[in-house]
Structure 1
């Protein structure tokens, strides 16, 4: 049975790992892991196949593809290019059967988040690097598009409700009504359970997005059901809960306490607690003093800057192919 305490995470791969046996078999959920030949990127696909899987994972049915690239935080153009190419490849896999590179195929890219808050600025920064093309169609008409294998790409940064007074879903419904895109790609910063995944993991899913859910801020979902258009989501974890960090170090704390004569009893006591009880104890100690605290790396500004370029290039490669020299 899955642990009942809530360690907030937006990553399906972490949700799968939270089950006993480090991600053992779950009814209605399939797991596939692989490395492409000569690739430095670990790929994981979690597929939620039915309602049983939905209930177990707490996420809707669909595919959740994770690219784990532990060198993403470094300034290595070749590595970032490799990640962009893999992201483009996986976007194509999720759109299999769609003529998504056809002339006139309209992609609306949505940069979710708050550009004034660095850990939440990934979406807006991706849009800053995005090469939009819809204005060319509007300016030069359909004749400009004839004979050109170029999709229509538009973008919007809807801001956050505290800035606009409107939900992102409300804003997007108006845009969809006017521009009629064939596909929406929503970019958002995520919350992770593990520090090691901050800024080094990209999740791609065909299930849409639930803004703010990873940090307990439940907003209107952006899904095919709510918007009437297929929604693909790309996210990178930029924050982790302080309680989750402490929970991950409990085993080390228990070992340290058990070594001391004066603290051995305390170590044995904490060690005898279940994971649920340990996590509840941590939250009881932390949250009254600090509130539901979230942590982000000290170099998050540079990390988000690099990732925003990598993701925008992945989108360009997916829909436009190799750029001409």
Structure 2
């Protein structure tokens, strides 16, 4: 934090980079990176293993998988198919699928706001199977084994008057899924990661946290079942853009001067503003199909 300016990000990778930039090591945080040059896909796994690591990172203990793919914002079907396969692989590693598994996919966000509509669009593109299995049985579908996929678009509190966690608690209690997968739009620290990065974590998700609208978390503790969070950063804090634009100048200043400069230059109202790319409408469509296809490949 520099004065009243705080780097805001939902990505564990970016939180870890803040310490790397200062040449600081954190005990209890492991990082593993892999770059596929042929596919141009970089996968970084940040694993928080101790309470000390969790406190330093400001995130719960668990695994945070970040897939960085520059072509994600482009309409290249072959490239998006590779990303879908990557998502499916990581989901299978995080979820035990040795038996028929019941999976509830929750598409978080406001479908009326494009940058926040990723979750609802993913659920719209899913292959839902729970009702068919329940109604007709596996034999009628020509399958010996099939996972039970159900989906819900719970909306946001302004639309329903209820916390997302309250809605999902009721659904989980009634349908008893083995795992909940929550899809949401995130906020990034870096503009280069907007719409080009996917984070998968086994620690759940906190709706609205990226834009400072903190809601009750969707976690295993709260829902009493395993929760996987999947998100894509679709917005960036306006103050971050100002900060990045002045990066070279800031590097030349001492810590105290930098702090004072930021307090003077970054207006308080910028901390309530979020920016998204102008082509976000088309990009969110590509991303939602890519993620839903990843889910379909993993479970169907």
- Residue 19 of structure 1 aligns to a residue whose secondary structure is helix
- 2:98 corresponds to 1:131: no
C-alpha offsets along residues 173-231 of structure 1, whole Å, 9 cap, x if unaligned? 11111111001000000000110000000000000001111111110100000000100
Give the equivalent residue in structure 1 for 2:244.
248
4+ runs of 1 displaced by more than 6 Å? Answer: none
Q: 1:154 Cα shift?
A: 0.2
- Distance change in 2, residues 1:239/1:23 (3 Å): farther
Give the equivalent residue in structure 1 for 2:90.
90
Give the equivalent residue in structure 2 for 1:302.
282
Moved more, 24-33 or 176-185: 24-33
C-alpha offsets along residues 241-262 of structure 1, whole Å, 9 cap, x if unaligned? 111111112134569xxxxxxx
Inter-partner Cα distance in structure 1 for 2:37 and 2:20: 31
- Distance change in 2, residues 1:287/1:102 (3 Å): same
Match of 2:264 among 258, 281, 293: 281
The residue correspondences of 1:210-229 to structure 2 (distance < 5 A) are: 210-229=206-225
Cα pair 2:66 2:197 within 8 Å, conserved: yes
Give the equivalent residue in structure 2 for 1:70.
70
- Residue 71 of structure 1 aligns to a residue whose secondary structure is helix
CA RMSD in angstroms, aligned pairs only: 2.1
- 2:292 corresponds to 1:312: yes
TM-score w.r.t. the length of structure 1 is 0.86
- Residue 145 of structure 2 aligns to a residue whose secondary structure is coil
Q: 1:35 Cα shift?
A: 1.8
Q: Which has the larger radius of gyration?
A: 1
The residue correspondences of 1:151-300 to structure 2 (distance < 5 A) are: 151-253=147-249, 271-274=253-256, 275-283=258-266, 286-288=267-269, 292-300=272-280
TM-score w.r.t. the length of structure 2 is 0.93
- Distance change in 2, residues 1:24/1:39 (3 Å): farther
Q: 1:109 Cα shift?
A: 0.2
Cα pair 2:237 2:273 within 8 Å, conserved: yes
- Residue 107 of structure 1 aligns to a residue whose secondary structure is strand
- Distance change in 2, residues 1:147/1:272 (3 Å): closer
Cα pair 2:138 2:144 within 8 Å, conserved: no
Report the number of matched residues: 298
Cα pair 1:101 1:319 within 8 Å, conserved: no
